[in-house]
Amino acid sequence: MKHFRTLSAYFDYMQLPGPEHPMLSVLSATEDNFLPCPRESSPPITNECYSISLKKIVKGKLNYGRTKYDFTNGALIFLAPRQVLQWDSSVVFEQKGFSINFHEDFLKGTELAHQIKKYGFFSYSANEALHLSPKEEKQIESIVQNIEIEYHNNQDEFSKDIIISQLGTLLKYANRFYERQFLNRKELSNDLLEQFNQYLENYFESGQLQQKGIPSIEQVADSMAVSQRYLSDTLKKETGKTTTEHLQLYLIDEAKNILLKPNKSISEVAYELGFEYPQYFSRLFKKKEGLSPSEYREKYKMN
């Protein structure tokens, strides 16, 4: 797999104009000029750059995971360093919008270097992009215009600070708009939770739990064709619980059924549920239910 250490090397491979700054590039379309078109396809590659791009759809409808786009105006896509990139010519975008690319070292020594790692959307998949309303799109584009002005100006001692500040503002707005997107996606959230539980049910019934142990969240997310971070953020926003908490609740619910079988010891119940250590199962059960497994069994017997 090809890995590009510099922004210039990455742009050369992408067949894009060379950046004016060794660690920063701002490309945007105007009324007269379209964005330069990158190569049509690529095998898996990685680089050391962050990328923020707004792409607009030419025609047809694209799906957001298993649902339609909220808005067909624009999709804001965030990519982090060392994410694997791969694309083909099947998805066609209008060459309007913008693309900001900057090497991770561009942020060194700034507060944004720490803040940017807290934004979960940099780990989302491309089909989990931020879909902007027309009003939101204008707000983002106005910030990009400010960044572009500084990018094309003669560099001075204030240039980098101003650009970093504008990038920080852009990310804060993106975070706000993602919150809106999560709130507007109740149908998707419910669908994801349903798929999540259905996967666990199939996993349990097929005997994989005993063979392979408790599935990882990454494994579940992959089966649902979404990223681990996006699945957790979506469920957290809608239900107040993370994917790990939902998995634990599912296991506890299954445990209650098995505990009612008097011929099984607490350790046997733990092993049947895929827990490597019965003590961990007992602690988790008590944390969630307020009773130990044995206390739960006794309470049921009395009823």
- Give residue 105's identity as a one-letter amino acid code: D
Task: Supply the pLDDT for residue 31.
Answer: 57
Question: Do the Cβ atoms of 136 and 81 come closer than 8 Å?
Answer: no
pLDDT tens by residue, 144-175: 999 999 999 887 889 999 999 999 999 999 98
Task: Assign 59 a pLDDT band (cuts: 50, 70, 90).
Answer: very low
Q: Check pLDDT > 70 for residue 285.
A: yes
pTM equals 0.62
Q: Check pLDDT > 60 for residue 73.
A: no
pLDDT tens by residue, 203-219: 888 888 878 888 999 89
Task: Supply the pLDDT for residue 63.
Answer: 39
pLDDT tens by residue, 86-145: 776 665 556 678 999 999 999 999 999 999 988 888 876 655 678 788 889 899 999 999
Q: Check pLDDT > 70 for residue 61.
A: no
Tokens at 237, concatenated: 């926003």
pLDDT tens by residue, 209-255: 878 888 999 898 888 878 888 888 878 877 778 888 889 888 888 88
What proportion of the chain, given as a percentage, has pLDDT over 70? Answer: 83
Return the residue matching tokens 């790990």.
244
Question: What mean pLDDT, rounded, does the chain reach?
Answer: 82
Question: Distance (Å, rounded) from C-alpha 203 to C-alpha 135?
Answer: 44
Q: Check pLDDT > 60 for residue 302.
A: no
In order, the DSSP letters of 86-114 are EE-TTS-EEEEEEEEEEEGGGGTTSTHHH
DSSP state, 158? T
Question: Distance (Å, rounded) from C-alpha 294 to C-alpha 55?
Answer: 57
Task: Supply the pLDDT for residue 186.
Answer: 55
Q: What is the CA radius of gyration of the chain?
A: 24
Which residue would you say has higher pLDDT here, 86 or 59? 86
Domains and CATH numbers, the chain: 2-184 (2.60.120), 187-302 (1.10.10.60)
Which residue would you say has higher pLDDT here, 183 or 102? 102
